[in-house]
Structure 1
């Protein structure tokens, strides 16, 4: 068979079923990595904010 043949539907389903959890795990790991990087940054002494997780609405 030529290499360009389309995968059978069952094979495609198995590939998707294996890929989606891996993608979600990678997304979660990246989120944790970024959160740790943000937590490691020292607070800005020029800012009047006391907590970096507190959101202040922007004035218009």
Structure 2
């Protein structure tokens, strides 16, 4: 697996935990705050990386 695919899988898992916390607030794990912060910090970097790789010719 390449780095891009691993980053996307990590973001999907983090997004699933965030969505679960929104749908079922009583069942939020104790680390949910850190998952939200990690998702918010990681998402822009991955987005910029994907956009940058789309622009550069391969």
TM range (shorter): 0.3 to 0.5
Q: State the TM-score, normalized to the length of structure 1.
A: 0.43
TM-score for the superposition, normalised by structure 2: 0.44
Q: Relative CO higher for 1 or 2, CA cutoff 8 Å, sep ≥ 6? A: 2
Q: Of the two, which has the highest radius of gyration? A: 1
**Bigger helix share:** 2
